[in-house]
Amino acid sequence: MATTVSPSGLLTISFFHFLLSKPAVSSPLIDQLNHPPPPNFLSTITNNCLHDSSLRYCNSTSSDLTNIFKSTIVAAHLCNLSNSPNCPTSFSFIDLRTRPKLAPLYLSFSFFWKYCPFSIKSIDLSNNSLAGPFPSQILNCTQIHSLDLSHNMLSGFLPVDSFTLLTNLSNLNLSYNQFSHEFDVEAISFFKRFNDSSFIHSGLLKSDRDYKFKMMTTILLLVGVSVLIASAIGCLVRRIGGRHKFSVRELTKATDGFSKERLVEKREKMEVYIGILKDGEEVEIEIQRGKVSSEFRRSFVKDCRVLVKVRHKNIVKVLGWCDEMEMRAVVMEREEGVSIEEWLMRSPPWKDRMKVAMEVVEAMSFLEEEWPQIRCDVKTTNVMVSEGGEPLILKLKVHDHPNSSSSSRDIYKFGVFLLQLIANNHIREEFEGSESRFVDWIAMHQHEKLRTVIDEKMKLSATAHEQVRQAIEIGLICTDLSTEKMLTVSQISSMLRVVYMPSMIQSVNGHQYHHRTRNKKKETT
Ligand SMILES: *[C@@H]1O[C@H](CO)[C@@H](O)[C@H](O)[C@H]1NC(C)=O
Ligand SMILES: *[C@@H]1O[C@H](CO)[C@@H](O)[C@H](O)[C@H]1NC(C)=O
Ligand SMILES: *[C@@H]1O[C@H](CO)[C@@H](O)[C@H](O)[C@H]1NC(C)=O
Ligand SMILES: *[C@@H]1O[C@H](CO)[C@@H](O)[C@H](O)[C@H]1NC(C)=O
Ligand SMILES: *[C@@H]1O[C@H](CO)[C@@H](O)[C@H](O)[C@H]1NC(C)=O
Ligand SMILES: *[C@@H]1O[C@H](CO)[C@@H](O)[C@H](O)[C@H]1NC(C)=O
Ligand SMILES: *[C@@H]1O[C@H](CO)[C@@H](O)[C@H](O)[C@H]1NC(C)=O
């Protein structure tokens, strides 16, 4: 067999001819992998390395011969499978898009990735339902220019340190995954070369954290502001004896000494753990470490004392807090579910969406009446739907001095939320990050082009269609910042009830559905 240098960094051209022409056609890949290397294999690669010492396998010991051999077999198959030209001598890209059976198989060949051919410049593993942690082995191909892992179900943290070795990477797509948010991807200098379109719905952007609803809560302890934003998942068990204060010792026990296995989210100043209390109850624990002013601590405890009293079936339950030494923590109950954002991707029927809107607005109305100092941050990423279809509001804020502007802000947010419950998925995504442009777009299309607004996957009866139309109007009323007259949440709630139960129309016809100011605006533009 001739031993010429292959530019792919694999083996000789003639060697591959041998592989592909004989067993490759008749026997499957796995069969070939079980063959031992041919007797002259060592001299073949030695010779290759004499000509080009940059080949990835050159500096490995001869004891790894079998793996090197196997890696060349996998490379040959993978090259062919990818329709890469001139296989495998100039194996330039791996294309395993939409190959959900093959992609995991090839990922499992760690010996291949270890000797990743230098010729490979592009790897596409998108749309494969790949689950589990980031497949770090592919980062052994440090020379790649392009990597696409979009539309999978990858979770856990991104291996940032390994990424930084990919100095030539100019095209990255991690969109549509469920990574955990350890940092703001925008804040890492390596990732600055990529724009947001590399991380859409990946769990890695600040604006996009739907991943967390599988598991988690967030209470942000904002330093210096007497505001506590709470978000959490849970309800189930009642606290015994109304005891809400936890000690560091209890929390240490509940989290196996704050073990890495129990850590589900980590940000600059905050960690979230899943813990198990003495009574066996599973909880989420948000922790902030470090010294803060005594004023901040007082205000933190004061806010917690309020939040533990709030009990509503559609509002997350805060079980207690810890304020000891240099640690502040909030303990919340935990429940399974998905974010509204994720839920909408499944195109739920109209009646389920309406139920969510009704229950959310009723929970807001409950807060307005019973706990005026508490505001909720209603967004498709801050509300989850439990497996039973019940919405749960995950973010709350305690204000020292609630005022009408915070109330109108809540109503605006609910309006956006309501419109998002109705809108086509692609419209929601298009205007992601710009609520006002989203609202303007809906307002502009609500009359003549209503069909383009409404999620086409909802099969609407004539009655339902009318309900949707009216719900859009209510959404637009809530988001109309130009009206003088301020609505209350309870008014919005009863307007929606009218839509939902048309028989009630007579009794509440005091409310006007027409969106005069916005129509005026439209006429002038
Ligand atoms: C292998 O080792 C030689 C000498 O130590 C070095 O010059 C070369 O860059 C190494 N090759 C690889 C691929 O690491
Ligand atoms: C892949 O292999 C098959 C036969 O095994 C061959 O017909 C085909 O041309 C090869 N494709 C490429 C891109 O080399
Ligand atoms: C993703 O895969 C599904 C089937 O698994 C297929 O229907 C769809 O067209 C693929 N999408 C893309 C963009 O390739
Ligand atoms: C690449 O492969 C080596 C083994 O050769 C391994 O030790 C290393 O962790 C791998 N790197 C990455 C980024 O996976
Ligand atoms: C990036 O490309 C340059 C120029 O082609 C090359 O010298 C360098 O080795 C590449 N970096 C990696 C990590 O492969
Ligand atoms: C983001 O980057 C991609 C390619 O990396 C480019 O096609 C796209 O236009 C960029 N988008 C924006 C908004 O800059
Ligand atoms: C990443 O993939 C998503 C979904 O396919 C796409 O919308 C986005 O533009 C892609 N981003 C880049 C940088 O290619």
Domain layout of the chain by residue ranges: 1-119, 121-223, 246-333, 338-513
Measured by CA distance, the residue closest to atom 4 of ligand 2 is 25
Q: Is 142 in the pocket of ligand 5 (CB under 6 A)?
A: yes
> Looking at the CA of 91, which ligand is closest?
2
For the CA of 167, the nearest atom of ligand 5: 13
To test the pocket of ligand 4, the residue of 63, 140, 144, 147 to mutate (highest count of ligand atoms within 8 Å of its CB) is 140
What is the separation, in whole angstroms, between the first and last Cα of the chain? 77
List all residues 6 or more positions away from 229 whose beta carbon is below 8 Å from its beta carbon: 218, 219, 220, 222, 377, 395, 396, 397
Does the beta carbon of 20 lie inside 6 Å of ligand 1?
no
Distance of alpha carbon 391 from alpha carbon 340, whole angstroms: 8
The residues with which 172 forms a beta bridge, in sequence order, are 147
Q: Which residues line ligand 3 (CB under 6 A)?
A: 97-98, 127
CB within 6 Å of ligand 4 — which residues?
Answer: 114, 136-137, 139-140, 162
Closest by CA position to 478, among listed 458, 497, 466, 492: 492
Query: DSSP code of 479?
Result: T
126 lines ligand 7 (CB under 6 A): no
User: Whats the size of the chain, residue-wise?
Assistant: 525
For the CA of 168, the closest atom of ligand 5 is 1
According to the model, what pLDDT value does residue 219 have? 36
Q: Residue whose CA is closest, atom 11 of ligand 5?
A: 143
Q: What is the pLDDT of residue 270?
A: 81
Q: Relative to the alpha carbon of 90, which ligand is closest?
A: 2
Question: Pocket of ligand 1, candidates 53, 54, 116: which has the most ligand atoms within 8 Å of its Cβ, to mutate?
Answer: 53
pLDDT of residue 485: 60
pLDDT value of position 382: 85
Q: How far apart are CA 178 and CA 201, in angstroms?
A: 8
Distances (CA, A) of 380 to 126, 207, 213, 281, 412: 25, 11, 11, 28, 14
Give the pLDDT score at 321.
92
Atom of ligand 4 nearest to the CA of 114: 2
- CA of 76, nearest ligand number: 2
Q: Which of 167, 190, 193 to mutate to test the pocket of ligand 5 (most atoms within 8 A of CB)?
A: 167
How far is ligand 1, taken at its centre, from the CA of residue 115, in Å? 14
**What's the whole-model pTM score?**
0.49
- Residue 263 Cα to ligand 7 middle (Å): 30
So what's the pLDDT on residue 375?
84
Can you tell me the distance from the alpha carbon of 117 to that of 89, in angstroms, rounded to the nearest whole number? Answer: 10
Nearest residue (by CA) to ligand 5, atom 14, is 143
Residue closest by Cα to atom 12 of ligand 6: 195
* Per-residue tens of pLDDT for the chain, all 525 residues: 333 333 333 333 323 333 333 333 334 777 788 888 888 888 888 888 888 776 788 877 667 888 889 998 999 999 999 998 888 878 899 999 999 888 988 998 999 999 999 999 999 999 998 988 899 999 999 999 999 999 998 988 888 889 999 999 999 999 999 887 666 677 788 998 999 899 988 888 866 543 333 323 333 332 222 223 333 322 223 333 357 889 999 999 999 999 888 888 877 778 888 999 988 888 989 898 888 888 888 888 888 988 999 999 999 889 999 998 788 999 988 877 888 988 998 889 998 999 999 999 999 999 988 998 888 889 898 899 988 889 999 888 888 776 766 778 888 999 999 999 999 888 888 887 788 889 988 988 888 788 888 998 888 888 888 889 989 999 998 988 776 667 788 888 888 888 777 544 333 333 333 333 343 333 333
Take atom 11 of ligand 2 and give the residue whose Cα is closest: 80
Answer yes or no: are the C-beta atoms of 288 and 327 closer than 8 Å.
Answer: yes
For the domain 246-333, what is the CATH code?
3.30.200.20
Q: Are 132 and 154 in contact (CB under 8 A)?
A: yes
Q: What ligand 5 atom has the least distance to the C-alpha of 166?
A: 13
Retrieve residue 166's tokens: 């990919």
Q: Which residues contact 102 (CB under 8 A, 6 or more apart)?
A: 81, 96
Is the CB of residue 454 less than 8 Å from the CB of residue 489?
A: no
In angstroms, what CA-CA distances link 447 with 307, 328, 431, 434, 469?
A: 42, 51, 20, 22, 9
Q: Which atom of ligand 6 is nearest to the CA of 197?
A: 1
Q: Mutation test of ligand 1: which of 46, 51, 59, 64 has the most ligand atoms closer than 8 Å to its C-beta?
A: 59
Mutate to test the pocket of ligand 1, among 50, 52, 58 (most ligand atoms within 8 A of CB): 58
Atom of ligand 1 nearest to the CA of 55: 13
Nearest atom in ligand 6 to 172's CA: 5
222: its two tokens: 């904002």
Ligand 3 atom index nearest CA of 127: 1
φ, ψ (nearest 5 deg) of residue 372: -60, -20
Question: Which ligand has its closest atom nearest to the C-alpha of 149?
Answer: 7
Q: State residue 149's pLDDT score.
A: 97
Q: Output the pLDDT for position 206.
A: 66
Give φ, ψ of 423 to 5 degrees: -70, 155
CATH placement of domain 338-513:
1.10.510.10
